[in-house]
Structure 1
Amino acid sequence: MLGKHAGLKLAYARLRDGGRNPFTVAFDEILSPTEARLDGRSVMLLGTNNYLGLTFDPSCISRSVLALETEGTGTTGSRIANGTYGGHAALEAQVASFLGRRQAMLFTTGYQANLGTLSALVNRDDNLLLDADSHASIYDGARLSGAQVTRFRHNDPEDLYRRLKLLKERQEPHPDVASLGAPSQNLIVVEGIYSMLGDIAPLREFVAVKKEMGAYLLVDEAHSLGVLGKRGRGLIEVAGVEDDVEFIVGTFSKSLGGVGGFCASDVPDFELLRLASRSYMFSASLPPSVVAGVSRALEIIEEQPGLRDRLGRNAEHLHHGLASAGFALGPTVSPIVSIRLANPEIAVRFWNMLLDQGIYVNLALPPATPSSQSLLRTSVSTAHSTEQINRAIDAMSAIGQELGVVPGVTDQLYAAAD
């Protein structure tokens, strides 16, 4: 049955031959948002998406423990069965209020949020326009919807406009033929911060295209919620387009330090999504302890804007340090700082050498990366100290010089002399 995956088997074998297997890394103990023990020794965590460091926040933990003790370990049912507790409804109202929306619905994971939302919003009579670098959950939701999928070039409003224009021309009914049935709808899907390279969508430009062409817009704020904006609402807040985005999707597993996902909106009949979304209807609901911890994390985002300020400074520090060392990085300063490498072999070796020095980052290889690039993906946190970031920059620079990825000190001196 698994013979069809022979190509994956070969690639997996090559990965294991390069040293440790990143798919089987199992931490002995998590000590803090930035430290863990692996194989009996301490490692720095620099690839966790724990942007605000809230996984060990005492108030989040105490709220979670109280819910665990009073409401049990899980709901054992879906939201439409026995799985809706008071906390679920309260968190939905809190998410909606936080984002300035009338309504929100919770999903058990962020992946399911995209899967359930997209598959319910559009069908085979509609058109989905996806940024080419969209997350796998977006592509899977598109596939489940049955809608016609059109990919536009990453972060390219002009290409989106051209493709929407072509779709609109095809959709125009002939003047002599009466239009039958509901007209096709066009839904554009983009992300706030993209997960692999950390680049940010040109959202104002996308909104302008959307308005001119008469489409709907969904923004996935998974990596930008709590990170961007004065209030932490994400890229839509920074871009000043909150009134122009129909649907906001996100996750609780990044800045909020938990697990789960959501969709929020002001559109009429939003409640119908609860009936049409299969990943909502047929999945067990979030455990009360997770709901309680996420609720407190949302409060912290509103109460402590300084967390975002420190995160921004840490991101600039890491990005500037690695860029100054000569690494090829993503185009935008964000908490995701990815090193672009020539091929998978160098990436695997670099990743192993970093782990030998007690630094854990994410290894991202084709075909799961934009343009089939080989990446070492780091994600900085508010909780990282200046000393930790300096240590990471020094270690990466030394390894990069050893592997010939960046020029060594001698090479730099010769270049300066020339």
Structure 2
Amino acid sequence: MSISKRFAELEHIRSALNEADADPGRIVMERMLSATEAEIAGRRTILAGTNNYLGLTFEPGILEAAHQALCEQGSGTTGSRMANGSFASHVALERSFAEFYGMPAAMIFSTGYQANLGILTGLLRPGDKVVIDAHSHASIYDGCRLSGADFFPFRHNDPEDLRKRLRRLGDDARGALVVTEGLYSMLGDIAPLAELLAVTEEFGAYLMVDEAHSLGVYGEQGRGVSEAAGILDRVDFITGTFSKSLGSMGGYCVSRHEQLNLLRYGSRPYIFTASSSPVNIAAAHWALDHIRSHPELRETLWSNVARLYGGLKDLGCTLGAEPSPVVAVRVASHDEAARIWNELLAAGVYVNLVVPPASPDGASLLRCSVSAGHSPEQIDTIVTAFGEAISRTAFAGACCSGQA
């Protein structure tokens, strides 16, 4: 395909979104008011689609830590750690991640996307075998492709299908890599990690779990679905991001294999990307310490989850999964989803509009992410806005066909 044809293809996609008045790329948060509110198109708007699960982005402590780092360490690192050396704050944060998870090794990356890209391309080579959940994040698919490894999807959250895939690999299953997520970001469903690990161990493979959306949310200490499932010490690699519960920007990997540190010499995304700014590192470090010492944040979050999930269920909405901080409302078509999404915006509520190919299984979704920072009144406002938006559209009943 020529570049001009690619531009034409993208213009067609943009035009289709504009015709439906459903282009999320046009949303501009003109002024941030708090962790859960912003001004959009001059209107005070509740943010219910920003993945700010613990609501920490405006906490005085995180702002103070970031400001101090800015003043003492400057605005950026201006190079990679392999070229320019490491700041002491990077090393300290890696040590804290290792301690938090009870693992001997940790690496941090400039984004969560790069964490998956960096680990997969650092671990894998052409001819290696990888089996990934079919609903895996784009960064996992891209990391597998860039590594040159042979990768095979297994049916979403299906341990038996994973067993079939590994069995077909024969002797190559031993030493293969299995990749899954803890909490899936589109439908809000969690992986059956204990069952998936049992299958992985049966074949002598390794398990990697992306806990990007579950850090700080699941587990007694907030260490994710792996902790909640009681298998944390048996997972080989855990990746995640700073940009959800930690309210910053960056990514990480921890491992029960101390040899993880050797990837610093073979992971191109780590070697050739400027390291995270001191501000991002300081904010993430403060947030990590904060969630360890404030379990009440998770209690508040789960109270809000129950309130939103229950309210939408009472409206008759078809919801994507069991209660989780990601509450996805299934809608019958893209057009219907766009109409309701615009009605919600007009009512001062921002949620994510998710349509194919970004959504799994061809679904059209209105995706909400719940925050510990939401007040009960804000949750109730979101539910009321959904009810009114549904009734005002010509597609009343579009997402009110009963619980899935």
Is the TM-score greater than 0.5? yes
Deviates more, 1:263-272 or 1:100-109: 263-272
Using the TM superposition, give the Cα deviation of residue 4 of structure 1 relative to its aligned residue in structure 2, in angstroms. Answer: 2.8
Tell me the equivalent position of 1:222: 212
Map 1:111-126 to 2 at 5 A.
111-126=113-128
Q: Deviations over 1:350-399 (max 9, x none)?
A: 11111011111111110111012111111010010111111111110222
Contact 1:229 1:235 (8 Å CA) reproduced = yes
Map 1:61-210 to 2 at 5 A.
61-168=63-170, 171=172, 185-210=175-200
Q: Given residue 55 of structure 2, which amino acid in structure 1 is its aligned partner?
A: G
Using the TM superposition, give the Cα deviation of residue 339 of structure 1 relative to its aligned residue in structure 2, in angstroms. Answer: 0.8
Distance 1:397 1:221 in 2: 32
Residue 295 of structure 1, aligned match among 259, 276, 285: 285
Map 1:331-350 to 2 at 5 A.
331-350=321-340
Contact 2:321 2:328 (8 Å CA) reproduced = no
Map 1:248-397 to 2 at 5 A.
248-397=238-387
Using the TM superposition, give the Cα deviation of residue 39 of structure 1 relative to its aligned residue in structure 2, in angstroms. Answer: 1.8
Q: Deviations over 1:388-418 (max 9, x none)?
A: 1111111102222333353899x99xxxxxx
Using the TM superposition, give the Cα deviation of residue 330 of structure 1 relative to its aligned residue in structure 2, in angstroms. Answer: 1.3
Q: Deviations over 1:73-100 (max 9, x none)?
A: 0010101122510000000000111111
Tell me the equivalent position of 1:181: none
Tell me the equivalent position of 2:31: 29
Secondary structure at the residue paired with 1:270? helix
Structure 1, unpaired ranges of 5+ = 173-183, 413-418
Distance 1:11 1:352 in 2: 19
Residue 16 of structure 1, aligned match among 15, 18, 33: 18
Secondary structure at the residue paired with 2:77? coil
Deviates more, 1:299-308 or 1:393-402: 393-402
Tell me the equivalent position of 1:406: 397
Give the TM-score, by structure 2 length: 0.95
Secondary structure at the residue paired with 2:131? strand
Residue 225 of structure 2, aligned match among 198, 222, 235: 235
Contact 1:76 1:83 (8 Å CA) reproduced = no
Secondary structure at the residue paired with 1:56? coil
Number of residues paired by the alignment? 399
Distance 2:240 2:362 in 1: 25
Tell me the equivalent position of 1:179: none
Secondary structure at the residue paired with 2:186? coil
Deviates more, 1:227-236 or 1:395-404: 395-404
Inter-CA distance 212–29: structure 2 relative to 1 (3 Å threshold): same
Contact 1:328 1:339 (8 Å CA) reproduced = yes
Contact 2:65 2:286 (8 Å CA) reproduced = yes
Using the TM superposition, give the Cα deviation of residue 5 of structure 1 relative to its aligned residue in structure 2, in angstroms. Answer: 5.1
Deviates more, 1:156-165 or 1:77-86: 77-86
Deviating runs (4+, > 6 A) in structure 1?
none
Q: Given residue 79 of structure 2, which amino acid in structure 1 is its aligned partner?
A: G
Contact 1:329 1:337 (8 Å CA) reproduced = yes
Give the TM-score, by structure 1 length: 0.92
Inter-CA distance 167–361: structure 2 relative to 1 (3 Å threshold): same
Distance 1:108 1:117 in 2: 13
Secondary structure at the residue paired with 1:150? strand
Using the TM superposition, give the Cα deviation of residue 18 of structure 1 relative to its aligned residue in structure 2, in angstroms. Answer: 2.1
Contact 1:83 1:284 (8 Å CA) reproduced = no
Secondary structure at the residue paired with 2:254? strand
CA radius of gyration, larger in:
1
Contact 1:361 1:377 (8 Å CA) reproduced = yes
Using the TM superposition, give the Cα deviation of residue 269 of structure 1 relative to its aligned residue in structure 2, in angstroms. Answer: 2.0
Q: Given residue 314 of structure 1, which amino acid in structure 2 is its aligned partner?
A: N
Inter-CA distance 238–395: structure 2 relative to 1 (3 Å threshold): same
Determine if the alignment matches structure 1 residue 55 to structure 2 residue 45. no
Using the TM superposition, give the Cα deviation of residue 259 of structure 1 relative to its aligned residue in structure 2, in angstroms. Answer: 0.3
Secondary structure at the residue paired with 2:82? coil
Q: Given residue 60 of structure 1, which amino acid in structure 2 is its aligned partner?
A: I
Q: Given residue 199 of structure 2, which amino acid in structure 1 is its aligned partner?
A: V
Q: Given residue 294 of structure 2, which amino acid in structure 1 is its aligned partner?
A: Q
CA RMSD of aligned residues (A): 1.8
Secondary structure at the residue paired with 1:363? strand
